[in-house]
């Protein structure tokens, strides 16, 4: 044994050939600070071993290395000087691997991401098996590669390919990686280790010139000034178009590569270090790392629910076909849970099957599915007009019209048909689960399961626990949602639940400005371009449906009469009364149609300006953002204080996945803490005269006074 640590062991496996194996105690290998120290120690031992002739780098796990330990990041990055020291020291460990006086070969199975990929780049050769996924996804955390990736990758695959991979964070399958020279060979899994040994022996014997393979990584980029200029101009234009101004990491990556292009390894690595440290101090990085941590929390809870679930969902039923029912049925069947789609009208069943077929057809067109798989998924959906068709299912998802009386009758009817242990859920967006539960004899097996439209694209499912919902029911429904490929967040019952409850104060803040004569298109422009929403509140209202939004104001007013009163003279109510329902009938705040090329198009509706008496009143961007966002953040705080959602992190993820909250802001609570609690309170107090939804809670004031964080722990 040459070296033995907690996460790394090194030993000779053949004459002069050593194996450096990552073998962490947990389920995956990752570069935490301790592992990096062991890595350096192991490489020092190898460098000093006089019998060494070659090294293969392997993993004892089914996957290679998933990257750096992100759980350490937020604490580490809080101190910029500490971060500078850490990244400089850590990145030089990879230089130790690259500087070994013998040939090195990485043998990669499964994920080699971030730091895992960078470890392979420091080797002379890379052989992967067919399960490998290799890439540098750091930009998705608001960062760039920090262990030499921006320096080595351009010198291995060329700056054009390297910049595309680094600035997009794209992962690569083996065949794609081989095409661009990112890896040197692809083999079947059972041949991986032997292939690595064979390759290192060929290098030892001189059949492969490993020194020539290594040398370009130590030198400036081999490209002339004109080529480099074109490369960086193109990359900057692509980053500006795709990432925009809110995401600094892709731009910083380009600058790091550019700054290091004409220099050798040390100066190029210094450029990377400087760019990396700068990004760690940005709000975008904190937000995106926070998203990762929150996502891990939510997935951990879902995994725990799967283990606690006493009932496995093997067969499902959807009540109510059409676009929503068809979308739910498709998602269940596509993810391997056969489903019965029940409706009282054949036309609705036809529409539901058509919706599922349309989604699958697009996958076939894009090459992501073949016709055989499409036929298999469609055959897993059984349309029926008969109640008896749902007998024997494990779960029934009610997705009929958003009317409590209609839903109540359907739920009661289904309870009389299905087995005594069949779980019954309602896909409702606003109606109280406890109210619907009164229609059932056994409310313990009933809860809400709120999907977002379009079902196949939107990742969130709100699982709404009623007063009498059992823990077993919640666990089984979370497990089913997870199997459907969704992120399930459990919330307690209240009008609008979590996502729609906090959305309506946001829309009310918008409507209040429109009622004062502020241009709705100008508000959209600010909320999209400056705040970062995928669509502004006017456009969002059109997409949701003005009639739907107006109906929901009734529900919210019943639940929160003082904070969310219904105003029949508001912009939303006026448009609904005029049957301007939004995208669904081609007219809302905007008019919808197609352009000359047949693509969907929207334009401001002149008649709406007249109808709503919108003049030339202007508000600055900061005021527009405040009047929309203060009510939303306040309502999120209330939901947390009332126990509607269990944690600030889960609230952040719900709005990211359910509404498209700008990822670079990290969610409502991350946004609140980025603004600063004291500053937010002062901002809210400035608008407190506009109504209760602008007034902060005593709990928020107490948090600010105590200096505590909603996202701590």
Q: Give 372-420 pLDDT, tens digit per residue.
A: 999 999 999 999 999 999 999 999 999 998 889 999 999 999 999 999 9
Q: Give 474-485 pLDDT, tens digit per residue.
A: 999 999 999 999
Q: Is 615's pLDDT higher than 90?
A: no
Q: How far apart are CA 340 and CA 306, in angstroms?
A: 23
Q: Do domains 3-281 and 312-493 have the same CATH topology?
A: no
Q: Give 107-151 pLDDT, tens digit per residue.
A: 999 999 999 999 999 999 999 999 999 999 999 999 999 999 999
Give the CATH H-level superfamily of domain 3-281. Answer: 2-enoyl-CoA Hydratase; Chain A, domain 1 (3.90.226.10)
Give the pTM. 0.92
- The predicted pLDDT at position 419 comes to 94
With beta carbons less than 8 A apart as the criterion, state whether 434 and 467 touch.
Answer: yes
- The predicted pLDDT at position 323 comes to 83
What is the rounded average pLDDT of the residues 496-516? 95
Asked whether the CA dihedral 520, 523, 524, 525 is positive or negative, the reply is positive
Q: Is 576's pLDDT higher than 70?
A: yes
Q: Minimal CA–CA distance to 263: which of 220, 217, 222? A: 220
Q: Give 225-271 pLDDT, tens digit per residue.
A: 899 999 999 999 999 999 889 999 999 999 999 999 999 999 999 99
Q: Minimal CA–CA distance to 389: which of 315, 295, 326, 283? A: 315
- The predicted pLDDT at position 712 comes to 80
Q: What are the domain boundaries of the chain? A: 3-281, 312-493, 499-580+610-706
Q: Give 173-182 pLDDT, tens digit per residue.
A: 999 999 999 9
* 587: DSSP letter: B
With beta carbons less than 8 A apart as the criterion, state whether 23 and 7 touch.
Answer: yes
Average pLDDT, the chain: 95
* Residues of the chain above pLDDT 90, percent: 91
Residue 468: asked if its preceding bond is cis (omega within 30°), the reply is no
Q: Is 713's pLDDT higher than 70?
A: no
450 is catalytic: yes
Q: Give 212-229 pLDDT, tens digit per residue.
A: 999 999 999 998 889 999
Q: Is 694's pLDDT higher than 70?
A: yes
Q: Which residue in 450, 456, 551, 689 is the catalytic one?
A: 450
Q: How far apart are CA 66 and CA 296, in angstroms?
A: 14
Within 8 A by CB and 6+ apart from 296, the residues are none
- The predicted pLDDT at position 430 comes to 85
What is the rounded average pLDDT of the residues 595-607? 90
Q: How far apart are CA 673 and CA 653, in angstroms?
A: 15
Q: Give 52-84 pLDDT, tens digit per residue.
A: 999 999 999 999 999 999 989 888 999 999 999
* CATH of region 499-580+610-706: 1.10.1040.50
CA distances from 202 to 54, 105, 167, 212, 407 (A): 10, 11, 35, 14, 71
Q: Which CATH architecture has domain 312-493?
A: 3-Layer(aba) Sandwich (3.40)
């Amino acid at each position: 044994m040459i070296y033995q640590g907690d996460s790394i062991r090194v030993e000779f496996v053949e004459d002069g050939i050593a194996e450096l194996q990552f073998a962490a105690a947990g389920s995956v290998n990752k570069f935490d600070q301790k592992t990096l120290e062991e890595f350096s120690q192991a490489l020092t031992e190898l460098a000093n071993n006089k019998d060494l002739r070659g090294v293969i780098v392997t993993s004892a796990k089914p996957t290679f290395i998933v990257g750096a330990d992100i759980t350490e990041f937020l604490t580490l990055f809080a101190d910029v000087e500490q971060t500078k020291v850490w990244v400089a020291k850590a990145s030089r460990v990879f230089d130790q691997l690259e500087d070994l006086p013998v040939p090195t070969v990485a043998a990669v199975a499964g994920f080699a991401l971030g730091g895992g990929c960078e470890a392979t780049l420091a080797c002379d050769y890379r052989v992967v098996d067919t399960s490998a996924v290799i890439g540098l996804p750091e930009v998705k955390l608001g960062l760039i590669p920090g262990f030499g990736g921006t320096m080595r990758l351009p010198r291995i695959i060329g700056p054009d390919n390297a910049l595309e991979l680094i600035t997009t964070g794209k992962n690569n399958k083996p065949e794609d990686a081989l095409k661009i020279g990112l890896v040197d060979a692809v083999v079947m899994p059972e041949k991986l280790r032997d292939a690595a040994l064979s390759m290192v022996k060929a290098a030892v014997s001189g059949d492969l010139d490993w020194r020539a393979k290594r040398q370009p990584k130590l030198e400036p980029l081999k490209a002339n000034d004109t080529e480099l200029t074109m490369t960086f101009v193109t990359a900057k234009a692509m980053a500006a178009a795709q990432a925009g101004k809110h995401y600094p990491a892709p731009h910083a990556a380009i600058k790091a590569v550019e700054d290091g292009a004409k220099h050798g390894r040390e100066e190029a690595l210094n450029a990377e270090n400087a760019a990396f440290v700068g990004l760690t101090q940005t709000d975008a990085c904190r937000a995106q790392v926070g998203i990762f941590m929150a996502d891990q929390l939510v997935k951990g809870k879902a995994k725990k629910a799967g283990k606690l679930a006493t009932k496995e969902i093997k067969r499902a039923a959807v009540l109510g076909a059409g676009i929503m029912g068809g979308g739910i049925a498709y998602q269940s069947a596509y993810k391997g849970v056969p489903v019965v789609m029940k409706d009282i009208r054949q036309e609705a069943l036809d529409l539901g099957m058509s919706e599922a077929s349309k989604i699958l057809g697009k996958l076939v067109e894009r090459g992501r599915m073949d016709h055989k798989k499409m036929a298999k998924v469609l055959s897993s959906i059984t349309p029926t007009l008969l109640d008896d068709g749902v007998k024997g299912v494990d779960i029934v998802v009610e997705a009929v019209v958003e009317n409590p009386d209609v839903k109540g009758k359907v739920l009661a009817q289904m309870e009389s048909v299905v087995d005594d242990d069949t779980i019954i859920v309602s896909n409702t967006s606003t109606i109280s689960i406890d109210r619907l539960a009164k229609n059932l004899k056994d409310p313990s097996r009933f809860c809400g399961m709120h999907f977002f439209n379009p079902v196949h694209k939107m990742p969130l499912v709100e699982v709404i626990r009623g007063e009498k919902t059992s823990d077993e029911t919640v666990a089984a429904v979370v497990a089913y949602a997870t199997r459907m490929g969704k992120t399930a967040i459990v919330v307690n019952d209240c009008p609008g639940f979590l996502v729609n409850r906090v959305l309506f104060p946001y829309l009310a803040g918008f409507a209040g400005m429109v009622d004062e004569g502020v241009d709705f298109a100008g508000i959209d422009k600010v909320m999209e371009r400056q705040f970062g929403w995928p669509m502004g509140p006017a456009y969002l209202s059109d997409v949701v449906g003005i009639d739907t939004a107006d109906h929901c104001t009734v529900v919210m007013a019943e639940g929160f009469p003082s904070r969310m009163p219904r105003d029949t003279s508001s912009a939303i109510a006026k448009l609904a009364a005029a049957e301007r329902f939004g995208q669904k009938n081609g007219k809302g705040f905007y008019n919808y149609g197609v352009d000359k090329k047949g693509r969907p198009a929207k334009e401001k509706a002149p008649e709406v300006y007249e109808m709503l008496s919108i003049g030339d009143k202007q508000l600055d961007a900061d005021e527009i953002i405040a009047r929309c966002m203060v009510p939303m953040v306040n309502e999120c705080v209330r939901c947390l204080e009332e126990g509607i959602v269990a944690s600030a992190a889960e609230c952040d993820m719900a709005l990211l996945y359910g509404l498209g909250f700008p990822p670079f802001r990290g969610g409502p609570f991350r946004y609140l803490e980025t603004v600063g609690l004291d500053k937010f309170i002062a901002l809210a107090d400035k608008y407190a005269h506009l109504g209760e939804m602008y007034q902060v809670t005593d709990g928020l004031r107490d948090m600010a006074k105590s200096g505590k964080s909603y996202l701590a722990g």
